[in-house]
Amino acid sequence: MCSGRVDLSFVLRAFLNGMDGVFIGGCRLNECNYTTHGNYHALNMVLLCKKIMGHIGLNPARLRIEFMNSAEGNRFAEVMNDFGNTVKKLGPLGKGEGIDKNELKSKLKEVIKLVPYIKLEKKEKLASRFENVEEHERLFTSGEIDSLFRDVPSYYIDPGKCQACMICAKRCPEEAIISAKNQIHVIDQEKCIKCGTCLEACPPRFGAVRKIVGEPVPPPIPEGERTIVRKSKEKMEDNPLVS
């Protein structure tokens, strides 16, 4: 499998499942067997993940990527022995960093939930390809990652603008939008992965979806008040003779 197919969520889930270290091996840079140069993407992903690990208190040395070809068996053995010794010195995941087990799991789950948002925000940098690794290592800064998590957006459907067209609900990849015919839609904030699909899907003529950053999301409209009464229906109720 191409190393470029190793997703950020794969690495984070490995740590969530209790792995003390994660190693990714790929073919040498500029020697991609598939001509897609996915190993550059893998390198950028690992560098991003290391910064995220530092942000939540994990030692970035628990994650390592190396590039080599099939003829470098001796080097592979040396690298694996070195990485194994490194992880052994670090100790069990979380314990070596002084992080409570449940607290660490909670942090990892929260980051995994935000992976679609993170990948979208860092899409251009993840696709970067430079001549030397040193330039890649300067791609992401700790301050940038702090800002990334500080400015996590939320999405909210304005009940005064929603027309219950159900387009956003059909497009949502996590089925996080509560919807029904003639019912104002509501985003389940616990399920929302911050991907922004609902904002893109909402027809411009409605503009019902709002992106919220740095402020609390308004409470959802009560279930019993979500029915949309169309104007034509209101007229017929006011004047039964109207046909």
Segment 117-126 shows an average pLDDT of 94
Segment 231-239 shows an average pLDDT of 52
Segments making up each domain of the chain, as ranges: 3-150, 154-238
Report the alpha-carbon distance of residue 126 to residue 149 in Å, rounded: 17
Report the alpha-carbon distance of residue 222 to residue 206 in Å, rounded: 21
Res 145 pLDDT > 90: yes
Q: Give percent of the chain above pLDDT 70.
A: 95
Res 179 pLDDT > 80: yes
Res 234 pLDDT > 50: no
pLDDT in tens, 182-221: 999 999 999 999 999 999 999 999 999 999 998 999 999 9
Torsion, Cα of 171, 6, 125, 137 (10° steps): 160
- Tell me the CATH number of domain 154-238, given options 3.30.70.20, 3.40.1280.10, 3.30.499.10, 3.30.565.10: 3.30.70.20
Report the alpha-carbon distance of residue 13 to residue 102 in Å, rounded: 15
pLDDT in tens, 78-107: 999 999 999 999 999 999 999 999 999 999
- Structure-block tokens of residue 196: 């922004």
Burial of 154 (0-12, 13-18, 19+ CB in 10 A): middle
For residue 138, report the phi and psi dihedrals to the nearest 5 degrees: -95, 5
Q: Give percent of the chain above pLDDT 90.
A: 83
